[in-house]
Structure 1
């Protein structure tokens, strides 16, 4: 049966006593999407994920999965699976039995559940570790087993709560590639909560930026990065300077700014606050205007041809066409 959206939230609110954690949000996630809920701590992203899973009761509004209203259904009847940050593997069970566990609970015969578990271990490249216990695995390997265990129930939607936060940076990018590959191969929607902009940019088809229980902007990562709607989104996504323009606040990408002279076009005089070597580029942090901060990403070769040091005076220059007007400064 065709459905318009894998998940739809309709004016969903979550209150904990007097506190409103999620405030009347609406969101439509198209079929087979990789959706990242992104925002600072306390923005409501995890509460939103848990309401989709059925682990939190919705205070107001509706949750639909495959066009079916699941607001009052228990987690097991929603067709979702949740992968937690801590992996929560059973320490006394082998990888094979960990993955097969939910099928055992459903009464699937041993031979069949083991065959399916091996299939899903192979999907995450862990088939050679079937007999090992979780303690004999690295963090990244435990992660893959937890993923196989979540997927074996063939969910319509996989929910991931900061699944990469416990991994080191090298492993994080490897597992990130793995998640994207799995989502494409399985053709199901993944909804992934993160506070990492890089993670959301790399993974998402749909990036949802949240603040104070509201969705501030939702769209493909490139659109959000190119055209942030507000100073909050521009700052949170990173890589932008938020400046006071002649007609209100503007955002200009740091890699589209340069150090130049007043005659070069739109500019702000300033002073170099810090210099950070980042390999292929050097980040020059500036104090400009009245207590505003800005930064410029200068290609390494260009920087070392004309280096600057903290304390030097410098002029921040950009092109008119690279400035993007923002809704508000806040």
Structure 2
């Protein structure tokens, strides 16, 4: 509300303004700026050491910012302690108390705030139900599977009704099947609760499946930020194209280009833009076969061939081949990368 009692729509749930983090002489995050719109699912994506976890911890207040500002709901929280920021953090390890049952694990932060037992237990049960764990309220963490522990940890993070939920690689300990199921649950919860989630991951598939806003980081910098489809279709650099995967980074007549592997094919030089290649490996992937190639001066490339088409004209490692693409599918890249 403003001073006249009129509700003012916030501009951003989180805004980073030239945020830097230094550890001694090492700069982990280097002057990044980012705006996360209200009720967004934002994924910070990048290789180990790119600065994504340091960024998350600075938003939470668990790391002191060396330079710059963090705003949450348009309020500068740079100098506020974590408890006053309106954020909650869900850690990779889940960090459940082993001696408390699920109900008391979820209710713990409410107890610390002085909420009466009946009230905090009622609210804890509500949030266990939100993550479909209401039937496990009396169980200890040791009596739960990894996926169930993950859901309880999520309920515990949400029970304080944070403005922003911060997630540090929350799916990395789960098997692939369960990871997909929990991924769907995270997106459902984010939409139902209408708050922003900021999720650190090194998994390109995870970020593309979850994010409204995908932020690709390298060496403490944001290299590209946008909707996943935009980043995938139009990577700005060779690094982004290679890191998000699914692209061939090739030397075209006018410089570096990216072409999606599923838009490339094995063909003939007369078919269009092409490069001579040699088959390095063949991987059956169910509906398609990935043909790994060596092109030019030892550069890697690949083609995704529909399985029926591949087995009609199979190739094997060592075969000469021609990598072909359509001009319309080539996207120019900045820098040599």
The answer, yes or no, to whether TM exceeds 0.5 is yes
How far does residue 141 in structure 1 lie from its aligned partner after superposition? 0.1
Q: Secondary structure at the match of 2:178?
A: helix
Distance in 1, matches of 2:53 and 2:167, equals 10
In the alignment of these two chains, the number of paired residues is: 330
Distance in 2, matches of 1:169 and 1:269, equals 36
Distance in 1, matches of 2:146 and 2:297, equals 47
Match status 1:307 vs 2:307? no
Match status 1:46 vs 2:53? yes
| Aligned CA-pair RMSD | 0.4
Distance in 1, matches of 2:286 and 2:325, equals 23
Match status 1:226 vs 2:270? no
Q: Secondary structure at the match of 1:153?
A: coil
Distance in 2, matches of 1:40 and 1:179, equals 22
> TM-score when scaled to structure 2?
0.98
Per-residue CA shift, 1:112-147, capped at 9, x if unaligned? 000000000000000000000000000000000000
Aligned counterpart for 2:160 among listed residues 149, 153, 159 = 153
Give 1:202-217 correspondences, 5 Å limit. 202-217=209-224
Task: Structure 2 unaligned segments of length 5 or more: list them.
Answer: 1-7
Q: Quote the residue 2:100 is aligned against.
A: 93
Distance in 1, matches of 2:301 and 2:175, equals 29
Per-residue CA shift, 1:92-127, capped at 9, x if unaligned? 001000000000000000000000000000000000
Aligned counterpart for 1:263 among listed residues 253, 266, 270 = 270
Per-residue CA shift, 1:10-50, capped at 9, x if unaligned? 00000000000000000000000000000000000000000
Distance in 2, matches of 1:72 and 1:289, equals 53
Show structure 1 runs of 4+ deviating over 4 A.
none
Distance in 2, matches of 1:289 and 1:42, equals 31
Q: Quote the residue 2:118 is aligned against.
A: 111
Q: Quote the residue 1:59 is aligned against.
A: 66
Distance in 2, matches of 1:23 and 1:33, equals 24
Task: Structure 1 unaligned segments of length 5 or more: list them.
Answer: none
Q: Secondary structure at the match of 1:99?
A: helix
Distance in 1, matches of 2:9 and 2:288, equals 48
Distance in 2, matches of 1:79 and 1:267, equals 54
Match status 1:70 vs 2:91? no
Distance in 1, matches of 2:326 and 2:199, equals 36
Match status 1:324 vs 2:327? no
Q: Secondary structure at the match of 2:108?
A: helix
How far does residue 288 in structure 1 lie from its aligned partner after superposition? 1.1
Aligned counterpart for 1:82 among listed residues 89, 94, 98 = 89
How far does residue 291 in structure 1 lie from its aligned partner after superposition? 1.3
Q: Secondary structure at the match of 1:2?
A: coil
Aligned counterpart for 1:182 among listed residues 189, 211, 216 = 189
